[in-house]
Structure 1
Amino acid sequence: MVARVQPDRKQLPLVLLRLLCLLPTGLPVRSVDFNRGTDNITVRQGDTAILRCVVEDKNSKVAWLNRSGIIFAGHDKWSLDPRVELEKRHSLEYSLRIQKVDVYDEGSYTCSVQTQHEPKTSQVYLIVQVPPKISNISSDVTVNEGSNVTLVCMANGRPEPVITWRHLTPTGREFEGEEEYLEILGITREQSGKYECKAANEVSSADVKQVKVTVNYPPTITESKSNEATTGRKASLKCEASAVPAPDFEWYRDDTRINSANGLEIKSTEGQSSLTVTNVTEEHYGNYTCVAANNLGVTNASLVLFTPHDRRAPEMLSHLEGPQVQNEVMKPASGSKNKGKEEKRTRTNHRCVFITLK
C-alpha cells in the first residue's frame, strides 16, 4: 500500500476540488448549513465529538478537512487517526465522528460540497473543555511562629480553573480569588494546620489537594495543679504545657532536679507531666518547680504540696505572680546545620513561693 502524502495547506482548495471532480457525478447541491457562519461545538476531553454535515442529494461530492489536511474525500479516508470516522445515519448525512477528543483536536473543521460552479463549505469550530487538575502544590512545611509563609497551588484546565484556598478549621476562613499563591504574613500558632487548595471550572467536579503547615513555638504552661496531701497517702502534682515541638519536662525542688526514685515517680507524655509521691511524709511538703522546654524556649511553674491542716496554703497559692518572659540567644552546637547562625530562645520564669509548713 502506498502512503498518501498530505498536500500543502495553501494547495488544499485546489486539491480538494480535483478530488471532488473525480467522484461520481451528481446533481448540483448545497448544504443546509452553508448560509450560516461558523458554528461552535463544545466537547469535554475524552468524550466523542460529532461534527454535523447534511446535504440535499445522496450523490453529492463531499469532503472533510481541517488545518492539518484532508480527513475524508468522499468515503475515502485520508487521515491516519483511528479515532476519526464518518457518521452516516442516513444517505444525506456526511458527519464526522472524533472519539476520545483531546486538546490537540481543537480548531476549525470544514465540510466541503461540490456544486455546479464551485465548492461550497460549512465550517464548525471544535472547542475542547478540560476538567481542572492541580499540577503543582507546595509540600508540607514547618516554620517558626512569626515567619512569613507562601503556599503555591497551580492547576490546568479549560476554561482556566479558579483557585480557592481554605484553612481547614471548624471556622475555616476562605481565601478566594484567581491566585495560585497564598501568603501568610507573621504566621501564628492558631494558623497552623491543613490548608486546602480547590481548583474548579464548569467542566466537572473540582480537584482538591491539601498542604499541612506546622508552626513551631516555645512552651507555655497551660495548667499547673498544686495539691494537698495527707501523710501516708499517695499524692500527685500535675503540669501541662503547650509547645511545638512537644516540650521535655523536668521537676525540681530547691533547685535540685528530681528523678524517679525514693518513692517519687515522674511520668511525662506529650504536653503534660506528673510528679507522684507514693507515700507522703512530712519531708515531702513544700514547693516544687515544673520546667518545660523545647529548642525555642523554656518555661516553668511553681506548685505546692501542702498539708490539709495548713489553711494559709490556698491563699498564698492564689498570689503567685504571673510569668516573666526573657529572651536568650542560643548558639547552635558544632556540627549543626545552622552553624554560624544565632537562634532566639524564649525563657519564661514563674516566681516561686516557698511555704513553711508546721
Structure 2
Amino acid sequence: MWRSMSVNASTRSSQHRETPFVLATERIRILAMPHSPTRCAQASPKCWSIAVGTAFRLCLKTAATVQLLLTYATCLEASSVKVTPKIIAFSFAGTAKPGNNVRTTCLLAEGDMPITFTWLRNGVDASHSKNVHIVSHSDFSVLSINPVDAQSAGNYTCIAKNRAGFDSFAAYLDVEAPPTWLREPQDVGGTLGTKLVIKCAASGSPTPTIRWFKLEGGGSLLFTKSALPKNQNGSMVILSLETRDAGQYACEADNGITPTLRKTITVKVNEVPEIRPFSFSKNIPVGGKALVTCWITSGAQPVTFSWLKDGDSLSTVQGTRQKADPDYSVLLLEPVLPSHVGNYTCIAKNKFGFDSYTTVLEVESPPKIRPFSLSKVASKGEKISILCFVSEGTQPFSFSWSKEGKDLQTTENVKVKTESDFSLMIIDAVDEKSAGNYTCIVKNIFGFDTHSAYLDVEAPPLFKKTTGDTNVVQGGSVVLSCHATGSPKPTVSWSRPS
C-alpha cells in the first residue's frame, strides 16, 4: 500500500519553503521537492514517456500531480515483478481422526515478491471456518485445522498470486467417519416373476462395504441366490421374484469405524392368482346337474372371482348359481339345458393381476335343426341355397341330404358345404328336375333330427297323358283323359271346336 509522509524537522527548509513529500512502498521510494526534479530509486524509460530526471513542479494542493507520481511509481514496481509463483506439491498425512490436529504447508519453489496466499475448501474461502487457522509468510503459507471434525473433510486449495500471475494446488483431507445412510432401505413388495431392486447406499470414510443378509430361523445368512450387486451403491437385485424370496432382509454398511449401520426390511411377494385346471363331468344329460369348482393355488388376498360363458357374462344364462370363498368359486347349472353347452371361463383377480381358465360343458343332447323353408317358386336358371343349422345338441355332428327319400347326389350343379354346426346345400341353376322335397339329416352320439323343404320350380304346362281319337256308337258313353304337368300346377279345361 502506498503511504505518504513528511521528512523530519532537520530536513525542513525555512517557513517560506514547502515541506518535501515522500511516496513509498516496500520496494519504491519517490521524494518530491518543490522546484526540484523528481528522484526515483528505480527508474525505467518503459514506464514513463518523459525522460527520467525531468523536473516536476509539485504543489501539495494539486491532487493530479500526486496521482501522477503514484502512477509512475506503480509502473516501476510492476515492471520489477516478472516471475509467477510456482507451488511445491503438498498433501495431508493420511486419514485424519476427529479431534486431532492436522497441518499442511503451501511452499513456493519460485516467484517474485510480493506474493499473497489464499486457501479454499471445496471452492469456498477456508478462513471462514472456525477450526481453520492460516499463517502466511513471504514465500509459504501454513494451514492448520484444530480440532478436525467430519465437516473438515474435503479439497483444500492453496492459491499463490503476484502481479505476474498465480498458481494453485489442491490436496484432499480424508477424515474418519462412521457410515451414514445415503439411501436407507425400506420395506418393499414385488410381483411374482418380476425383477426387484432394493436400494441401500451409505457414505463414510473409508468408503463402507455394503452386505445383504436374509434372516431365517433366528440367524442370518449372506444372501446370494439370484441377488447380485449390480453397481457400487449396494443395491440388491432379485432377477426373478419367487415365493421363497419373501421374508426379512438386513442391509449392513461397515467401514471399520463404529457404529456399523444395519437396517432390517421386509420383502413381500405380491402374488397374482393362479388357477388350478378344472373341468365339467363328461356328457351330462339334459335336465341333470353340472357343477364345477375354480380353485386358486396361490395369490395374495383379497381375490375376487367372476364367470363368463362364451366370453359373455353369466347374467343372461338361465339356471346358473355361484358361490365364492376366499380361495375358490363354485358354478352350478341346474337343470342342465341344451343352451348351456359352451365354454365357461373362471377369472380370479387381485390388485396385482389376474388369472383365467376355460373349460367346455358338453351335454347329452341330440341335435335339433332350426326349421327352414323355401317360400317362393324358383325360376329356371336361378341359384338357390338351403341352410340346415343345428341350434341345440352336443357336437360333433354329421350331416347328410336326401331328395324325395333318396341320397342327394352332388354334381357340378348341386353342391354341399358342411361346417361343425351347419350344412349348406346349393343348386347353381335350377331346372324342372330340381323340383322336389329336400331333407337335411343331422346325427350325434345321442340321436338325430331331420327337416324337409319342398323346392318348386317354374315350368310350362306339359301334357303327360291324353286320349287320342276315339270311335263311339251313337248313344254310347266314352271317357276322355287329359293330364298335364307344370309349375305352378296347370288348370285343365275342355272345349269342343265349333
TM-score, scaled to structure 2: 0.39
For residue 264 of structure 2, the aligned residue among 110, 120, 124 is 124
Quick check: 1:295 aligned with 2:469?
no
State the number of aligned residues: 259
**Match in the other structure for 1:99:** 237
For residues 164-204 of structure 1, what are the alpha-carbon distances to aligned partners after superposition, in whole Å with 9 as ceiling and x for unaligned?
A: 2331557423769444344232444444444444343334x
1:121 CA displacement? 10
**Match in the other structure for 2:425:** 274
Counterpart Cα distance in 2 of 1:214 and 1:168 = 10
Counterpart Cα distance in 2 of 1:274 and 1:82 = 64
- Please give the residue correspondences for 1:1-358 in structure 2 after superposition, counting only pairs within 5 Å: 41-44=187-190, 46-50=195-199, 66-67=215-216, 69-70=219-220, 83=227, 97-100=235-238, 102-109=242-249, 124-134=264-274, 136-138=276-278, 143-144=283-284, 146=286, 148-150=290-292, 152-157=294-299, 159-160=300-301, 162-167=303-308, 169=310, 171-173=312-314, 177=324, 178-186=326-334, 187-203=336-352, 206-213=353-360, 215=362, 217-226=365-374, 228-229=376-377, 236=384, 238-242=386-390, 243=393, 244-253=395-404, 256-260=405-409, 265=414, 267-270=416-419, 271-274=422-425, 276=427, 278-281=430-433, 287-306=437-456
1:126 CA displacement? 0.9
1:280 CA displacement? 0.7
Greater relative CO, 1 or 2 (CA 8 Å, sep 6+): 1
For residues 6-35 of structure 1, what are the alpha-carbon distances to aligned partners after superposition, in whole Å with 9 as ceiling and x for unaligned?
A: xxxxxxxxxxxxxxxxxxxx99xx9999xx
For the 8 Å contact 1:219–1:241, the answer to whether it is kept is no
Counterpart Cα distance in 2 of 1:246 and 1:51 = 66
Query: Which structure 2 segments of 5+ residues have no match?
Result: 1-97, 100-177, 254-258, 316-321, 460-487, 491-498
For the 8 Å contact 2:343–2:358, the answer to whether it is kept is yes
For the 8 Å contact 1:53–1:111, the answer to whether it is kept is no
Indicate the structure (1 or 2) with the bigger Cα radius of gyration: 2
Query: Which structure 1 segments of 5+ residues have no match?
Result: 1-25, 34-38, 72-77, 90-95, 114-118, 310-355
SS at match of 1:104: helix
For residues 34-65 of structure 1, what are the alpha-carbon distances to aligned partners after superposition, in whole Å with 9 as ceiling and x for unaligned?
A: xxxxx97133163123478999x9999x9986
For the 8 Å contact 2:388–2:423, the answer to whether it is kept is yes
For the 8 Å contact 1:50–1:98, the answer to whether it is kept is yes
Counterpart Cα distance in 1 of 2:435 and 2:387 = 17
For residues 246-289 of structure 1, what are the alpha-carbon distances to aligned partners after superposition, in whole Å with 9 as ceiling and x for unaligned?
A: 34123242xx32331799836242313437484215xx755454
**Match in the other structure for 1:328:** none
TM-score, scaled to structure 1: 0.50
Instruction: Summarize the Cα distance change of 1:182–1:247 in structure 2 as closer, same or farther, 3 Å threshold.
Output: farther
Instruction: Summarize the Cα distance change of 1:257–1:182 in structure 2 as closer, same or farther, 3 Å threshold.
Output: farther
Counterpart Cα distance in 2 of 1:81 and 1:289 = 71
